[in-house]
């Protein structure tokens, strides 16, 4: 089995995802250092206890996730679930890599790019070929839904392709015009999408004000699930790692209804 030096992989991931560009809510990159060489990686959405135990059971050297650890303003004390996760990681010499906003934003491997692929959305492009975006850190993508006429049809397509029923706000018969999307908990960026001319906004979650904003701007809203919309970027990133270094990479989907 081929291996790669842990620090070399960390450098490649940081460079590929341009991690230093982002002011994030957590540290991006190698969050917990384990074995010095890596030959087997488990990828997943979140570095939960369940994912760690699955990685240990499979004899992996590292986990690579979108939702890692050490979030801004979280309780810094090491107790409860945090203690359990860290104890498992250190006892088994696991490396933990986490990439949050850099993985959302990447133009090909990122969550937004991959969600577009899965849902059949067509990103609008700038003159240089980059995706047309808006919002903080340009995280909201803009485009269209070819072949889909109404909000109801688009919601049905989302449900079919993600395997879960979305939350929908709006008239099912309203036409689909400009579509905007941002995976995960990006309901707070809906106003940016509306300002950019979106008539439909797709994200993972909704908050109480989301319904009012959707109704008052006549913008269709689809809340497709935080976990459900963010399963694909880390898979694409893992496949890129496997291809670049010829090491074993497995994706494990720990079910999450949110």
pLDDT in tens, 194-203: 999 999 999 9
Q: Is 212 annotated as a binding residue?
A: no
Cross-strand partners of 221: 169, 201
**Is 4-99's fold the same as 106-229's?**
yes
What CATH code would you report for 106-229?
3.40.1390.30
Q: List, in order, residues 6 or more apart from 133 with CB less than 8 Å away.
A: 139, 140, 141, 142
Return the pLDDT at 1: 74
Tell whether residue 61 is among the known ligand binding residues.
no
Phi, psi of 253 (to 5 degrees): -100, 105
pLDDT of 235 reads 98
Known binder of ligand: residue 92?
no
Q: Which two tokens stand for residue 250?
A: 């497995």
CATH number of 4-99: 3.40.1390.30
Q: Give the distance, in angstroms, between the CA of residue 213 and the centroid of all CA atoms in the same chain.
A: 24
67 is in an annotated binding site: yes
Of 110, 98, 68, 58, the closest CA to residue 248 belongs to: 58
pLDDT tens, the chain, 258 aa long: 799 999 999 999 999 999 999 999 999 999 999 999 999 999 999 999 999 999 999 999 999 999 999 999 999 999 999 999 999 999 999 999 999 999 999 999 999 999 999 999 999 999 999 999 999 999 999 999 999 999 999 999 999 999 999 999 999 999 999 999 999 999 999 999 999 999 999 999 999 999 999 999 999 999 999 999 999 999 999 999 999 999 999 999 999 999
- Whether the model pTM is above 0.85: yes
247-to-45, 68, 99 alpha-carbon distances in Å: 20, 22, 20
- Tell me if 100 is assigned to a ligand binding site: no
Domain coordinates in residue numbering, the chain: 4-99, 106-229
Q: How many Å apart are CA 29 and CA 1, to the nearest integer?
A: 24
């Amino acid at each position: 089995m081929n291996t790669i030096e842990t620090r070399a992989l960390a450098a490649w991931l940081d460079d590929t995802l341009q991690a230093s560009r982002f002011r994030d809510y957590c540290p991006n990159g190698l969050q917990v250092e384990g074995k010095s060489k890596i030959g087997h990686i488990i990828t997943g959405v979140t570095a939960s206890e369940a994912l760690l135990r699955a990685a240990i059971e499979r004899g992996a050297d590292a986990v690579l996730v979108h939702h890692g650890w050490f979030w801004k303003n979280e309780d810094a004390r090491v107790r409860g679930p945090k203690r359990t996760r860290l104890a498992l990681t250190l006892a088994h010499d696991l490396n933990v890599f986490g990439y949050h906003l850099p993985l959302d934003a990447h133009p090909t491997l990122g969550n937004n790019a991959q969600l577009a692929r899965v849902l059949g959305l067509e990103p609008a492009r700038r003159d240089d070929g980059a995706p047309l975006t808006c919002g903080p850190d340009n995280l909201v993508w803009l485009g269209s839904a070819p072949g889909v006429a109404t909000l109801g049809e688009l919601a049905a397509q989302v449900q079919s392709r993600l395997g879960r029923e979305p939350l929908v706000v709006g008239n099912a018969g309203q036409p689909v015009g400009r579509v905007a999307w941002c995976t995960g908990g990006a309901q707070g960026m809906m106003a940016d999408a509306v300002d950019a001319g979106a008539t439909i906004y797709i994200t993972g979650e909704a908050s109480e004000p989301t319904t009012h904003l959707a109704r008052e701007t006549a913008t269709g809203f689809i809340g497709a699930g935080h976990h459900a919309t963010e399963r694909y970027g880390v898979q694409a990133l893992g496949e890129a790692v496997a291809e670049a270094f010829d090491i074993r990479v497995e994706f494990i989907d720990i079910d999450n209804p949110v």
